[in-house]
Amino acid sequence: MTFALSDFQCSPNGLILGRDEDYCDLVVDCKTVSKQHAALVLEEDVLCIEDLSSTNGTLVSGERLEPGFRYYIGSGCYIKLGGAELELTKI
């Protein structure tokens, strides 16, 4: 799945990614993705991703993220939420 951030409106809490269509801004329809899996947040004009204590973890370009910490990401990053792979195409 490829997505561009320009296609979404960010709330003050960021862009929530996950399986639950009632609470997520970007719904990822995959059984290994948590209901609220990760968040994309702008921090000082830099895009960050944070794992929201998901069951199956979040990886960015092959590196597993520690839940609760924010990691800088950029265009071309591959994000894996459980078994779902996403590519960030532009910021």
Check residue 62 and give its pLDDT.
93
Rounded-to-integer distance, Cα 8 and Cα 26, Å: 8
| R_g (Cα) of the chain, nearest Å | 12
CB-CB neighbours of 75 under 10 Å: 12
Check residue 28 and give its pLDDT.
94
Cβ neighbours of residue 80 closer than 8 Å, sequence gap 6 or more: 58, 59, 60, 86
Handedness of CA 9, 24, 42, 76 (dihedral sign): negative
Reported as a single tens digit per residue, the pLDDT across 47-61 is: 899 999 999 999 999
Are 5 and 25 spatial neighbours (Cβ–Cβ below 8 Å)?
A: no
The more confident residue out of 6 and 88 is 88
